Amino acid sequence: MRRLATRTVLFHQAAAQSLGLFPTDLKSADLLNELGPLTAGELSEKTGLSSGAVTALIDRLEKAGYAKREKDPKDKRRVIIVPLTAGKSQVKELFQPLSASTKQLTNEYKREELDLIIQFISEAAEIMEQELQLLKSKS
Amino acid sequence: MRRLATRTVLFHQAAAQSLGLFPTDLKSADLLNELGPLTAGELSEKTGLSSGAVTALIDRLEKAGYAKREKDPKDKRRVIIVPLTAGKSQVKELFQPLSASTKQLTNEYKREELDLIIQFISEAAEIMEQELQLLKSKS
């Protein structure tokens, strides 16, 4: 797990760098794609970044064309950060070789083996999320 | 895998930030702990960072007490970056709750299930390493 985590962090560092972004920017764009539009406050909560850091992050995402600040159609007083398709496809392209290699790896496993692996990885992701919130609450 | 990767990157960002480091610094310290002393060139190769970025990174690691530049005892003309125990224990403490939660998770699985999961995760780490090198060779 630790070896995978190290390579994951380094891979995302290199991937973000190749797009002129920080790793957190890339993963925040990913979070927006995964969860849909969020407010700056929600993005701060999800990423564990301070509100100042999130403001700078949204500025970079806007500049790079990955997201856009918009008035919430449901509540005009709220500003939401909306992921943009252009950035999405660029990120997708960057991760395409990794996705393909991972898909090839999964082909070597049986359905029931994959179910088990997916269950473990989902639980590990859940733990990582809890630990992130814990770490954030301490700082 | 993607959800886990996102949480991994965000967790390491928050963990590094709490130590006044960048995520790459923390993972480089981890790489040194894992692989033993490396030259700046080897560290650049392993992390995918440019040699200029690695110089700044080593400066930060030295300043934070995680590593030290030393003359290679086997070849005095070479400088190697040696991991320091003090930093190691501080990082260990920071990751302790995550380690404990992950260990608890593994306790819910049978030995043969864990063997399968470990095999998959090792292969995934290997793929991530290859993709990192690929990404680096393109930039």
Instruction: Confirm or reject CATH 1.10.10.10 for domain A2-108, answering yes or no.
Output: yes
Which of B19, B35, B54, B132 to mutate to test binding with chain A, by most A CBs within 10 Å of its CB? B132
Q: What is the pLDDT of residues B117-130, one digit of tens each?
A: 999 999 999 999 99
pLDDT at A134: 87
Which residues from chain B sit within 8 angstroms of residue A139, using beta carbons? 14, 17-18
Q: Where are the domains of chain A?
A: 2-108
Which residues from chain B sit within 8 angstroms of residue A30, using beta carbons? 2, 6
pLDDT at B112: 96
- Could you count the other beta carbons within 10 Å of the beta carbon of residue A125? 18
- Cβ contacts of A55 within 8 Å, gap of 6 or more: A40
Scanning B36-55 for CB atoms below 8 A from A yields: 46-49
Q: What is the pLDDT of residues B24-67, one digit of tens each?
A: 888 888 888 888 899 999 999 888 888 888 999 999 999 888 89
What is the C-alpha to C-alpha distance for residues B57 and A5, in angstroms, rounded to an integer?
Answer: 19
For B113, nearest residue in chain A (alpha carbons): A116
Instruction: Report yes or no: B55 and B69 within 8 Å, Cβ to Cβ.
Output: no
Which of B25, B50, B131, B133 to mutate to test binding with chain A, by most A CBs within 10 Å of its CB? B131
pLDDT at B139: 64
Residue reference for tokens 């190290």: A6
pLDDT at B6: 85
What percent of chain A has a predicted confidence (pLDDT) above 70? 97
Weakest-pLDDT range from A112-116, B15-19, B79-83: B15-19
Q: What is the pLDDT of residues B72-111, one digit of tens each?
A: 999 989 999 999 876 677 778 888 999 999 999 999 999 9
Highest-confidence segment of A4-13, A112-121, B21-30? A112-121
Which residues from chain A sit within 8 angstroms of residue B46, using beta carbons? 10
Residue A29 — very low, low, confident or very high, per pLDDT cuts 50/70/90? confident
Which residues from chain B sit within 8 angstroms of residue A105, using beta carbons? 120, 123-124, 127
Q: What is the pLDDT of residues A56-106, one digit of tens each?
A: 999 999 988 889 999 999 998 999 999 987 667 777 888 899 999 999 999
pLDDT at A90: 77
Instruction: Report yes or no: A80 and A36 within 8 Å, Cβ to Cβ.
Output: no
pLDDT at B113: 96
Model confidence at B22: pLDDT above 90:
no
Scanning A93-132 for CB atoms below 8 A from B yields: 94, 97-98, 101-102, 105, 109, 113, 116-117, 120-125, 127-132
Of the candidates B25, B100, B97, B9, the residue with the CA atom closest to the CA atom of residue A46: B9
What is the C-alpha to C-alpha distance for residues A120 and A122, in angstroms, rounded to an integer?
Answer: 5
Helices and strands (H, E) in chain A, number of each type: 6, 3
